[in-house]
Amino acid sequence: MLTQTQFQRQQARTAIWPSVSRTSPASSHLETRALSNTYVVKFASNTTQTWKDSHLQWLKSIEKRGSGGDFIRGIRHEFSLGFSGYSAVLEADIIESLRQNAGVKSVTEVTTSPPSTDFGEGIEIEAPGSQSLFLDAEKADANDTAVVTDLNKGWNFNRVSHRQTTPGYNPGPWVHNGFLGQGVSIYLLDTGLKLGHPGWRGSDVSSLRNFVSDTREDDANGHGTLCGGTIAGKNGMAPKAKLYSVKIANDRDISACDDVVAGIQYVVSLPAPANNLKIISMSQYGFTGQPDVSAAVSAAVAAGVHVVVCAGNDQRDACDVEPANARGVISVGSIDAYDKFPTRRDSPEGTNLGRCITIFGPGSRVPTLSNENLSPTYQYFGWGTSVAAPQTAAVMANRMSEVGPMTPAAMLSWLQEVATKGQIEDSLRGSPNLILFNGVGEA
């Protein structure tokens, strides 16, 4: 016989996942592949800048592109963050020559992230009440220091602003102040953003750079919009922050390691704002091979940029997953509305665990935005650590908006110090028993 809690949990899950058909991925979520004829070349430490410049100039002189603009031969990216080198599409004879060159430390294939799985689904809602669930960023409290309560927000807002909540996916109050990320820039490294979505109303959302060849700048996949929708706009926790898209994943939500490292390097290199007011939010994981995404993340953190990543959804040890295992990164796992770890036995997405987790955030039936259905009577929900991570980025932006710039180490310490402790009712497997808390809500 089911206990009352088990019955309530079963009923809630039946209600929020009503006979929705899902497409199973054709391959393992952690399967990666190498890009054809694409390599990352690292210069040796004693190679002179003159030789590097001459070599790069030669490569540019032999560049060749197809009719669609794609590389047949040529440099994709140049790197200086963490290592000196480049990625390029090159023929086998050139690669063999480079491997014999004293100026080159290594030549390795560029690999991709694994194929994506389904992350969200939507429902039709009553139009008259549809806007009452969400804060209108244009009407956010002008008195930033005042603590206010917005009623009937998603369960995730309630969870991160209260120590004790009633289990379940029902709407609840969100306690916050008026800072809401103002003055902080969040860079979403993903599949892009659906910039024309009316759900962004009141927030400053724009696209900065697309590092993925043969794709449009907009979000054709939906994963980026799903993640960004928890940061900005009507469902976002930091609607006054500036949200920028840096596209590093293609329209199938697959990202090449060199595009990712190029995107990270780009954010670090931006002259403003100061690095300690920049947050990178990246919900791409499972990288292997080169260039080393975890090394790039660690280099960004060392440069003062805050980096938040999803821990992954596979019930694995997060320490075995890039970039959740990067030094200094904030790695976010997910919980459901019952302070349990979702698994793929009973949820669209699970969570990775272990000592490399920094904190856990809401990652089940989280209100967000769809890149396809823009109707005001349509509410989209996201699952997985992919939505837990950007919510954490939003809370971080709100904190810096209130207190000013922070170092990544200070931010990580604050997140863990203020976190709700000891309430996760599950096997931790070495994970910290910490739930994301905004530092403003009821203690």
* Residue among 19, 23, 145, 35 at smallest CA distance from 88: 35
Q: Could you tell me which residue, 385 or 8, shows the higher pLDDT?
A: 385
| pLDDT surpassing 90 at residue 407 | yes
Q: Which range is least confidently modeled, 78-87, 147-156, 283-292?
A: 283-292
What is the 3-state secondary structure of the chain? CCCHHHHHHHHHHHHHCCCCCCCCCCCCCCCCCEEEEEEEEEECCCCCHHHHHHHHHHHHHCCEECCCCCEEEEEEEEECCCCCEEEEECCHHHHHHHHCCCCEEEEEEEEECCCCCCCEEEEECCHHHHHHHCCCHHHCCCCCCCCEEEEEECHHHHHHCECCCCCCCCCEEEEECCCCCCCCEEEEEECCCCCCCHHHCCCEEEEEEECCCCCCCCCCCCHHHHHHCCCCHHHCCCCCCEEEEEECCCCCCCCEHHHHHHHHHHHHHCCCCCHHHEEEEECCCCECCECCHHHHHHHHHHCCCEEEEECCCCCCEHHHCECCCCCCCEEEEEECCCCCCCCCCCCCCCCCECCCCCEEEECCCEEECCCCCCCCCEEEEECCHHHHHHHHHHHHHHHHHHHCCCCHHHHHHHHHHHCEECCCCCCCCCCCCEECCCCCCEC
pLDDT category, 329, cuts 50, 70, 90?
Answer: very high
Please compute Rg for the chain using Cα positions. Answer: 22
Residue 214: both structure tokens together: 């043969």
The pLDDT score that the predictor gives to residue 69 is: 76
Question: Whose structure tokens read 């669209």?
Answer: 348
- Please, are residues 318 and 324 in contact by the beta-carbon 8 Å criterion? yes
27-36, 52-61, 107-116, 188-197: least confident range: 27-36
Among 204, 233, 169, which residue's Cα sits nearest to residue 371?
233
Q: How far is the C-alpha of 438 from the C-alpha of 415, rounded, in Å? A: 8
- How many Å apart are CA 122 and CA 4, to the nearest integer? 28
Locate 420 and state its tokens: 């709700």
- pLDDT, one tens digit per residue, over 64-92 is 998 877 889 999 999 999 999 999 999 99
281 versus 346: which is more confidently predicted? 281
CATH number assigned to the domain covering 117-435: 3.40.50.200
Domain with CATH 3.40.50.200 in the chain: 117-435
* pLDDT tens per residue, range 90-114: 999 999 999 999 999 999 999 999 8
Mean pLDDT of the 333-352 span = 88
Give yes or no for residue 37 having a pLDDT over 90: yes
What pLDDT, on the 0 to 100 scale, is given for residue 291? 86
How much is the pLDDT for 191?
Answer: 96
Supply angle C-alpha 306, 238, 262, rounded to 5: 35
Q: Which has the higher per-residue pLDDT, 412 or 348? A: 412
What is the per-residue pLDDT across 155-199, written as a single tens digit (0 to 9) for each?
Answer: 999 999 999 999 999 999 999 999 999 999 999 999 999 999 999
Average pLDDT over residues 280-285: 96
In the chain, ranges of CATH 3.30.70.80 domains: 34-111
367-378 mean pLDDT: 90
- pLDDT-based confidence at 3, cuts 50/70/90? very low
pLDDT tens digits along 431-443: 999 999 999 965 4
Q: What share of the chain has pLDDT > 70, as a percent?
A: 87
Are the CB atoms for 353 and 318 separated by under 8 Å?
yes
Q: Is the pTM of this model over 0.95?
A: no
Domain boundaries 34-111, CATH class: alpha beta
Predicted confidence at residue 142, as pLDDT, reads 52
